[in-house]
Structure formats: structure tokens, C-alpha cells
Amino acid sequence: MELNTVWFILVSILFIGFFFLEGFDYGVGILLPYLGKDDTDRRLILNTIGPVWDGNEVWMIAAGGAMFAAFPNWYATLFSGFYLPLLLILLALIVRAVAFEYRSKDRRPAWRSLWDTLIFVGSFVPALLWGVAIANIVRGVPIDADMNYTGGFWNLLNPYALSAGLATLSLFTLHGATFLSLKTEGELMNRARAAAGRLWPPAVVLVLLFVVLGYVATDMLSNRGALFVLVSVLATAALLAAGWFIRSRQHGWAFVMTGLTIVLAVAMLFLGLYPRVMVSSLNPAYSLTIDNASSTSYTLRLMSIVALIFVPIILLYQGWTYWVFRKRIGREEKLEY
């Protein structure tokens, strides 16, 4: 297997890991004002992700760094063409990070309410816009022969991309609800479980709409055929299974199924994209591929050596973090946020 294919797979895995982990982070932030009936509840909700949220965002930084080093033309075209939505995502994440740190600096209800609102906004905006951005990469955007994006912001707001944004928003919120069901106790756990039950039907509808539009608005079916169909069916089956586990109060399996839905959905998009990395809607010949967008063989070899050394260390450390903070959190706990 050629190194540019290996690095396409690695970039895909980094994005899959990011959406799986940061997905429930976003969901928890979105649910914060709805499930937190008082300040103690809201602090408890934030403490479920307190030890891990910043580590989860490292996957986004790693994915962007890997894209920049392995496929610089992909990085340049993507970040110049999608400048405004990616800037909005970045600003939302900055506001969200600041809100986590500043919320507990003052006990006044108005102060904490402000930062709680910003945590909600900083979670809602990326959950929506990441779906829009990834869907446009697969659907195709106006890219010319010089690998330049020639469209505008409104080109990105097409029905398929908007359906993807709503699908990721609903799926991440459901993922966050199953996570809270797994991590909390008592009345808050019951509210999280009830929220998961209410969120599941619209998530199913929106994800199915996104999958159906994918058959119509993209060439993923003709590009990957039976494999695309298989992965999309498995993703749908995982989401349907999540509903059954939610109703049977098997919180761990419900979380696994919502996570598996996210993993399979993102894998479906990258499978449909390969061997391209960005599709041109002007001319298929203008599409960026793993060949014309990649770095030199020497750069890819050097990156592979670095990745083999440091990626296992990072995975072990993050796995250890989740193991240490694996227990449920109740109102009697000492709360940080």
C-alpha cells in the first residue's frame, strides 16, 4: 500500500476519533441548559466531561496537522474555500473553552448563566457546521484547474450539506444524552435517559434523510457501490439498535451504538470520497486526489516514523485518562466547574 493511501486512512481515522469523542462533548454542552435544573446539576453535567474535553479536541488538531503535512494542497484549498464556516467553528470552540474555565470564577447566577449560554452556543455551532463542511467535501464544490475554490459561502448551504449538519447536530446531541445516562446518577440520570428517548426519533429521521440524499446528491454509490451501501446500512442498524438499548435502560450499549453510528457514518463519507480528497463540481478532472494533493514520499516516510513512535503513547495516555475517570458522578461529589 502506498504511503499517500496510508495517510489518507490515518487522516480518516483521526476525524472518526474526533467526531466520536468530541461528539458527546458537543452533546453534553447542548443539553446543559435543558437538563441542568439548578447550578449543582449544571456543574455536575460539566464535570462529566471536565477531565477529557480538551484531550478530545486534540484529535481535531492532530487531524488538521496530519492533513497539512501529508496533503498540503488539500489543506490549502479546504481552509481557503471553507474559511468562513471553519472560522465560525474555531471562534465557537475558543468561546467554549473560555467558558469552561471562567464559569466557576464568580458565584453570581447571572455570571454563570452567561457562560452556560456560551457553552451551549460553542457546542451547537460546531455540531452543526462540521456536518455541513464534511458533506460539501464529498458532494463537490467549485474548484478550478489550479486547485482554487471559486465559489462563495452560499455555495456551501445546499440541501445535502444542510441535511448533514442537522444529522450531526441531532446525532451528537443524542450521543451526549447517552453519555450523561452512563456518567450520572439519580434524577439527572433519569432526565438524561428521558432526553435520549425523545432525541432518538428525530435523529433517526434526520440521519436517514442524510443517507438517502447521499445517494442522490453525490457519486458515492457509483464510486464505492456495494461497500457504500453496506456501511450505510450498518450505520442505520446501529442507530436503530441504540433506540432499543435506550428503552431497555442499557446505558453502556446505548452509548456504544450511538458512537458506532458516528464512526460508520464518517467512515462512509471517507470511503465514498477515496481516492479523492476534495471533489470539484466544475470538472471531475479538477478534483484533488491523494496523488496531486500529497506531500513528497520523503515527507510521508518521515511522518510515518514519527506517528509510529508517538501515536501509541498518546492513545495509551488518553485511554488511561478515561479509565481513571470512569465512575459515575453524583451530587455528593466535589464539583470543579
Nearest to 131 by CA among 92, 90, 89: 89
Q: Any idea where the domains of the chain sit in the sequence?
A: 3-324
**Is it true that domain 3-324 has CATH number 1.20.1630.10?**
yes
Contact status, residue 92 vs residue 126, Cβ threshold 8 Å: yes
Task: With CA atoms as reference, report the closest residue to 196 among 208, 209, 183.
Answer: 183
Task: State the pLDDT at residue 72.
Answer: 94
Residue 149: φ, ψ to 5°: -75, 125
Mean pLDDT by 10 residues, the chain (337 residues): 89 94 94 90 90 87 91 92 91 93 86 93 95 92 90 85 95 96 90 94 94 85 77 92 93 94 92 90 91 90 88 87 83 64
**At which residue does the C-alpha cell 476519533 appear?**
17
Do residues 204 and 228 make contact, with C-beta atoms less than 8 angstroms apart?
Answer: no
Residue 50: predicted pLDDT: 85
What pLDDT score was predicted for residue 336?
66
Alpha-carbon distance values, 326 to 62, 313, 329, 336 (Å): 24, 20, 9, 16
H or E segment and range at residue 200: helix 186-217
